Structure formats: C-alpha cells, structure tokens
Structure 1
Amino acid sequence: MKKYEQLAKTIMENIGGEKNVISVTHCITRLRFKLHDENKAKTEILKSTDGIVTVVQSGGQYQVVIGNAVGDVYDTILDVFGISANKEAGNDVANKKIGLLDRFIDTVSGIFTPVLGVLAASGMVKGFTALLVALSIIDAKGGTYQILTTVGDGFFYFLPIFLGLTAARKFKMSEFTAMGVGAALVYPTLSAIMKGQTLYELMGGTLFASQIKIEFIGIPVILMNYASSVIPIIIAVYFGAKIERIIAKFMPTVLKGFMVPFCTLLIVIPLTFIVIGPIATWAGQLVGAVATGIFNLSPVLAGIFIGGLWQVFVMFGLHWGLVPIMLNNVSVMGFDPVIVTYFGATFAQIGVVLAIMLRTKDKKLKALAAPAFISGIFGVTEPAIYGVTLPRKKYFIISCIGAGIGGAVIAFFGVKLFVFGGLGIFGYPCFINTVTNDVSGMYYGILASAVSFLAGFVITFPIYRDEKNITMTSSTAGKEQIVKQEIIKTPIMGKIVPLGDVPDEAFASGVLGKGIAVDPLNGQVIAPTDCTVVTLFSTGHAVGLITDKGIELLIHVGIDTVKLEGKYFTVKIKQGEHVKKGQILIEFDVEKIKAAGYSTITPVLVTNHTEYLDIIPTNKKEIKKDDTLITVVI
C-alpha cells in the first residue's frame, strides 16, 4: 500500500481535505467522492497528477479516475486517513442508491436499446407512407400502400415478441421462452375472441366493469389488445425469469431442456392474461375517470394534466383508459374536447430531440436522434422516447412540460377533435368541423403544436450537455468505447497462467470459453460471487456456475483430473444450490494430485462470452483472495 500513499495524500489534499469528504466509494476505475463543497477541490491540479487519468464531476459525485489501481488507492485512503467505507466497493449500481424511477428508466431503456434502430426505421416508414397518401402520390387502397403499411406496422404490431427477447436478456430468462410469452400476447385469435359473445360482465356498475369473453379453468379473463404494448411483456418477463429459476432449481437435469419452458409458459402466460393485463386495464380506467373529473373542474388544468402526462400514460399502457372516452365523446357529441389535449405531446418530444440533435457531439446519439425526429413529425415517438429522452430523464421531463403547455393552449381555445385519425402533422385535419367545415380548430391545433415544439426546444437547447462518460480501450477490439463491466473475483488463489499456456488444447484454444488459469497454492475453490451451481461433476474436479447477473463460469481443477474419479477431491455443495460469495465449493489435495502425475493448473472460463463485448483477464502474476481475476465487459 505504501506505493500509493503519496497519490492518496495528493488526492485528499486537493479535494479540500478529509473534512470536505462526506463519503468515498469506488467502482471499476474511479474513486467516487461526495463532497461538502466541490468548489474547494483543485480539479486542474488533480488532472495533471501522475496516476490520475482525469476528473469527472457528475451526478453529485466528484469522481477521480485512477484505472486498474483504484482499489489499492481506495484502500490506502481509508487506511491513511481513517475514513470509514460506507459500502463495500463494487460496481456502479451497487455503490449508489437508485430510486424506483431511476430503476424503471434504466430497465426500460436497457430493454429498448437493442431494438432502437429498427424501431426508428419502422417509424420513418409509417410516417413517409402517411405523407405519400396525403400528397396523393399513392392510393390508400392500393397494393403499394398495403406493402408499405406492412413494412411500417409489422415491427410495432409484434413489438411484445421483440421486447420479450430483450427483456429476457435484462432479467436473465430463457430468450425463446420469453419470446413465446410475447407471441401469445399478440396471437391473432385473441382479436376474434374479443369481438365474440360476452359470457357476462364482471364488476358491473363500477368503474372497473369488464366484459368477460372467456375463462381459464373457471377464472375470468379480461382481454385487451396487446399489439404494440410495452409494459405487460416487460412485467411478464420479469416475473417469468423468477419463476423459471425456481422451476429449474428443482427440475432434474435430464428434463430441464423441455420441462422448464413447458412449466414456465403454462404459468406465465395465464398469469399475464389473468393478472397483469387486468391491472393495466383497470389502471387505465382509473386514469380516464381522473382526467374527466379534472376537465369538469377546469379545462385548462385538465389540458396540463393530460398533455403533460400523456407520454407517461402511453409507456404504462394507461392511455387505453382515455382513448374510449375520446371515442365515446366523438360518437355521442360529434367531437371530443377532453382527450384531444394530448396532441402537443408529439411536438414537444421532437422539439427536445431536435435541440439534442443540434447540441450533441456524440455521433451515435446524433445518428439516433435524426430518424427519431423524422418519425416523430409523423406521430411515431417511440424511437424518440426510448432512444433519446427517457434515458436522459431530465429531457423527457422537459418534453412533458412542453406537452402540458400545449394541452393548456388547446383547452383554453376550446379546440375539439372531430375525427379520430392521423398522428403528428397528419392529425391537423382531425380538428376540422366535418359538419360546418370550420377550419379554425385546425389553426389552433397548429398553434398548440408549435407552442409545444418551441417549449421543448427552447428549454432544452441552452441547457443540454452530453453526459460525461469514461471511455476504456477493449483489449481485443483495439478501439475506445463506452462500457459497463462486471467483476469476477478469483475462486482460487495461486500463480496466474495465461490461457494459451494451459497444457490442454481445448482450454488453450478458447473453444470452451474465454478466461485465464491459476496454478493453485492451496486446495480450495470458493464462490467468486453470489451464484448458482448449475453443473457439478460427480468426480468433483469441475463445477459450472451462473452468477446472479447471468455470467456463466466453468472452473476446472487440473488437467485430465477426471481420470482420478473423485480421488483427492471433496465436494462441499450440491447441484442447483445457491451459494454466497466466499463459500467453499470444492476442496482438493494439491500435492497428492501432482504426485499422481496430474497438473493442477485450473482454468476459469466465461462460457457465455459471446454475449459480452470482451473478457479481460487480470494482468497480475499472482492472485490472492478477493483479487479481481476476470473483468467482463458488457
């Protein structure tokens, strides 16, 4: 630790002294300080100090970027200055409290990130198709229109299937099982059933009155349209992942391949139709009742409420509680003056996106914002929400503010919706009175959308700043990229052996996985983190683990030691058991194994390495307890 004492002293001196420190933790590369007064810190001096990569001030933290030695510097600071660690050092998420809203946004954004490209592309196709029809370039009844509509709508219609895949990766569920859940939600027969005969009405006379078309083992099923929906499949996969793990824990290995998905689908899909769907439906009805009540109290207040929160309602599927009110108003009164106040939301969103696109220096964000803006013009805002503003929640909130202002304008001028039709700029004709041909409503609609757009743009443009991220160079990619990492502590202590030097071609070639090997100094294999034992050889010479974060590990004690048939090995765990970090898994006699003519070099491999950007082994020569053995780049 002495080698880092001077660096530790320099850091503490230039952040304003230990009295200026509220707390300090560390992640993969950074010391994360919470300071009483960041103005007391001498940032430029720290940036020029040897051993410090840079300094980042973000999220209420003063972050000193060290690199691989951050753990040693952190320990030295604690030791020399007597500062108490408020948490065990680990990854970013583990070391800071995350609110429910932050967790939700992180989860939804992570699920949508892989599909953003095709989401934006589909939205652009939908928008351009509507434009071609509006300009009479193509016939809305012709084959060209039908094909283009299929191209644009196909992805959105089957969105639950795609989100089933990405949510499965997020929640660590079998991908194809999760896609099966998504496919069930958009199964075509459901639409026909929803139009069929009503068996009876559930909770008639109440806000939650629902027509029951079918039952499942005597339980009423409240059907709803899940095409293009988001939240139901995410919730279903979240619970499905937990159910799948429970089933897998008790299922015999020989049956897991087909019985685990069999049982999981039989539980999760009915659960989604019976519980998750109805809850979403009733929540939507409750929102509708609240919106109508507010409008009766004050139209402008209702405009702010509906307009400002419309995008949130859509994200949760709660807008389905408002759409029936709109349709009912149009059919009964000939117009809707209430729900129409949502109209500015699209334009507020694209106003924010345009400001970000013009201000950002991030090429990837700029490339994503451009098609999101274009599709948003035509009313398709999912790429803008999930790809641009929601991950940067401050700007999503700004879009809601702009939408609320637009909603207030619509309500103030008494704008009415006469036809339920187009979105975005193609929604303007919906404000024309089809009886009197009065177009004044359209002009006010254009005004409201312009106000929403300008509000989003004007608020965002002067304050937007790219998020400060630290880039690291991947050891295999050879180029800089923004990364997240998971740390695998060593399960065995000893001298490091590069994987290519392992005296076994299968391990050395990497065909069994990527990682590193250890020549053990003692005879214990311990759990590198909290994980589940998924494979346990009866001979005790090898064990397969899956960490709670989904990283699959193979620890193989020695080379060809399977031939010992369990001799000199003592197994301390059972297959399917969930073990804690540091728990002893296997004990073995190093000297007796060597005396029997076998190498004890132990490969530690990440077998599902193809799911990650990179697998980075330690550069240490000797590894001790709690040392990092492998860094998994996500």
Structure 2
Amino acid sequence: MATASKYEVIADEVMRAVGGAKNVKSVTHCATRLRFQLHDRSKADKAAVEATRGVITVVESGGQFQVVIGNTVNNVYEALTAHHEVTSEGAASGGLLAKAIDLITSIFTPFLWVLAGSGLLKALLAVWAKADETAAASSSYAILFAAGDAIFQFLPILLAVTAAKKFKADVYSALAIAGALIYSATVAVIPNADGASVTLSAFASGGGELTFLGIPVVMVSYLSAVIPTILAIYAQSKLEKVLNRVLPDAIRNFVTPLVVLAVIVPVTFLVIGPISDWAGSGLSSGVNWFWGLSPLIGGALMGAFWQVFVIFGVHWGFVPVMIQDLSEQGYSLLTGPLFAAVLAQSGAAAAVFLKTRNRDLKAVAGPATISAFLAGITEPAIYGVTLRLKKPFIFACIGGAIGGAIAASGGSASMGFVLPGAITLTSTVDVGNFALQLLGTGLAIAIAFTLTMVLGFKDIPNKEDAEAVAGGAVPSEAAAVTSPVAGAVVPLSAVPDKVFSSGAMGTGLAVIPSEGRAYAPISGVLLTVMPHAFGIRGDEGLEVLVHIGLDTVELNGKHFSPLVTQGQRVTAGELLVEFDIAGITAAGYNPITVMIVTDDGGYAAVVPVATGDVRCNEPALDLVG
C-alpha cells in the first residue's frame, strides 16, 4: 500500500475535524485557505483543525469555516476532493455582503495563480523594456507579451467556465457566449463605409449604425469584460432551467443551446453590456475621483486596512473594480498602496524571527517572512506570526498606512493583476512615480521592522519551559493567582461552555465549588461587578475574571449576594460574594466557577498548577515572568 502524502494526511485530519464529509455542504479554496460551508457548525472541532500539522489557523467569516493552509492549499484541496465525496458548489449563508464575496471568490480563485503569473510576466517585461530601449520592438518581446497579456484580453473565456460552474449552467454554451462577446472586437465581420470588413466594435466606433432587429446597439468593449460576462452567464443559467423544464427530451439537447445563444448574446449586446459597462465605469471613475481629491488619504486607508480586509475575506470585493480599471486604463490606482501593506507584514515577521526566543515561532516566522516578501502571500505571516502576537500586526498596519500614502501620492499603480510583493514591484515601473513607490514600500518595511524590534511584543514561552513550571520548576520569576473558591479543580477545556473551554477568552481553570463564597484571586481594582462575575485589574496590568456558574446571568442576581462594588480596591483573599449553590442548581444552572486571565499584563506564560481539591486562596495559576 502506498504511503499517504503529507497533503493527504492534512486533508484527512481536517475532514475528520470538521465533522466528516457528511457535514460538508461544499468546499472551495482560494490562494491560501480551504473555504468550508458546513451543515452543522457545532460538529466542527476548531481546536482540532488548528492543531493539525500544516494548518496555520481557522477563520470563521461570511458563513464560511475557513482553514488557512498557505501556499500548498491547492495540493491539500486536490487530496481532499480526491479522497472524500464533497462538492465545490453551494451558496454562502449570511447577508448580502457574504454572498457577494462568496460569488467573487468562487469565480476568480480557480484561475488566480495563472492571472498572477501572467501579471508577473508582464512586470518582468516592463523591466526588460526599461533596461533595453530596443526590446519592445523585438519579436521576442512581442511573443512574450502575448503570453502575458492574453489572459487579460480574453478574460471572459475563463470567467465563462468558472461562472457556469457557479451558476450551474452549461459550460460549453457559456464559452460560446463569451466567445461571441470577444468576437465582436477581434474578427472582421461587417463592411464599413468603404466596403472593407471590420469588427463590430470598429464599425460602431467608426460611426456605423449598429442595430439588432431595428433596435440600436450601444457597443462596448468586451475584451477583459468582467461584469457583462458574469451577468450574461447568470442569465444563461436561468434561461436554461426554463428550457430544460419545458422542452421535450427529443429536441432539448440541441434546441436549448440554440435558444440560449440566440437570446443571451443579443440581450447582452442590447442591455447587459451597456448597463454593466456603465456600472463598472462608474466604480472605476469613483475610485479615480476619490484619489484625485486626496491620494494621500486613499493610499493611507488602503495601506492600513488591506490586511484587515484579507483577514475577513472582503478584499475580494475590490477585485472586480481593479480588473475594470485594468481593462479601461491599463492600471488600477487601488493597487499602488498594496505593496506597502503587504511588505510591511514581512518586515514585522522578520523582526519577530530575530527577536523571539520561541523555537516553534521562529520556525514559522522565517518562511512566512520570505513568502510575504517575495510572493505577497501574507496569510502565514499574519495568522502564524503578527496577528498571533497582536502588536507586530498593528505595527505593520502603521507602516502600511505611511508607505501606502507615499506610494499613492505619486500616482503609483501596477500594470496587470499581480499579487503585491518584492518581485512584482516591477509592475509599477511605468505608472506614476516609481521612486515614491520604492520609498513608500521601503519605509513601510522599515517602520514595521523597527517598531517590532524596539517596542517588542509578548513572546510565547517554549513549550518545555511552560511544562517545567507546571511540574514545579521555575525557569524565571513567577507569581501566583489564587483560587477564588474551594472545591474540585476542572481543566478549562472540560468546562461545558465553548466560550470558556476554547481558551478564546484566556488561560485559566475552573472549580466545582464546595461552598458558596468567592474571594479575590489577586489584589487590584474591580473593573466589573455583577452578581455572578467579577473582573479585577492588578497593579501591573494583570486582569482576571471570576465567573460563577454557566449562563447564571439569566438569574438576574437571584441566589447571589455581592459584598463589593465596581471601582473598589480589593486585596487578594478578600470576600467578593456569597452565593447559594443549592439554589443555583435547583434553578437548572451549573454552579461551576471559572477563573480566566483575560490580560496577562506582560507575563510570558500563565500556567494552571492547582489539581484535585483546592482550598480558597491557595495558588491556582502561576504567572511566569
């Protein structure tokens, strides 16, 4: 029996953790992540997915359970679909924005890499033309330029395939529709005033009267057309459903495409194309108008928030606008600040690589830095390094804002659809001020790197150091947080509440109380006082939450007698509240008491040390300095 590849292992483990193939409504992938739509989210074990070797993190956004893999996501996706019966079809749940993002990602991601590769080829050709003035006139240059530019000119062909799959339309009829749109600008089919055959586009632009059954046709350019193609295929899918339902079996196979082509192509020329062109041109003009008002502000906003958009997956909403710009003017001003935004993350990740003492984090930060810097793939850097540590991500956003503003102020933009990275910087050579683009990008990297190195971040201790503390050894200065109640200690992971058990709120433990008194686990000021919950901030910034019972907020204070008030200063061991365990239980609520460190105040690690039965005010958590 052949040994399973590492991609097959990842795919199998992820599939088990999301609840198996029966729990998967559909799965697709983008540049770095698997995008699951699940029947029952509660059957998916997020922690188990994130613990899978080869998985960076899990993001839940837009009704999708997104598993971030990185550059090898396509390999994992192929292994997953080859070994498990899952479909790539399905509509996103959630609101209009979620469905719009799902539509865009489903249509564009299948050919994203060839789009990016073609853009990179054009960027390299731009460098060649700058270095050698005679290059652009050579046949070698022309052949390579055709290779790099063809996908952008004939983009409707690719869109027809992916849109047809998304809308469940016939792929070959969709290709015929897209071909007809491109045909109008590429093949001479109608004589002009002097009798020479020209394309439909040339005929209309030359003053010819272009009509269909006497109805005037407003001819627009369908080369690189995005919105008209997608809408045309959507209309095709709806018409096909009607035809397949009403036509007899004997004629359906050839009459359906006949009617589809005879209806959809003219309708696109008459209605869909002009309206789509107007809408797309409006979006493009709006961006250019805003940039004209203040390119500094536009560049700063894109530079600061682009990676935030990436995190939530809404960056795909900018793709149609960018491609519309590319088809109309050959560049998109939205792309200029993105190099600073992306490469700033590589600068912050590089600083983490040099500064961290955690061997596992260093092992992630190194490759993530290279991936982000060279190829513009930032998910490994974001989820594995900068966002995980919080401050480096913020520092990178600051660098991106400053660098993006500088790049945008010079009118910089990329010629072609590229993933912003060091290699593809050459795509901005011919648009705007390339020197300002280099300055802005360089400053973004330097700012993110310097802030991370100087201001630092809360490092993650090595696993063996934390285990040593749990076993009684103290590798560095340690302080203790005491148990707020007496009773039996329960690991946080065993608490029957996902908010607490997941560790999303912080590290801690739980105690099944044996008596109805809760005491302050640290000295400090009470930030929150509710009958069932108390938040305390210590003098050094440590914040601890004591939460008595699960869902006990619904008791509205019944069975609780607080003895302190919000804003009051308390000392460790001071009585906070008395509560009736029997009354809470009789009301149908679990009285288990959870204690969580919600802000570690700069300590390197929080380690639960209490086990078995614990008494009030005995050490429960160790804080490793």
TM-score by length of 2: 0.42
TM-score by length of 1: 0.42
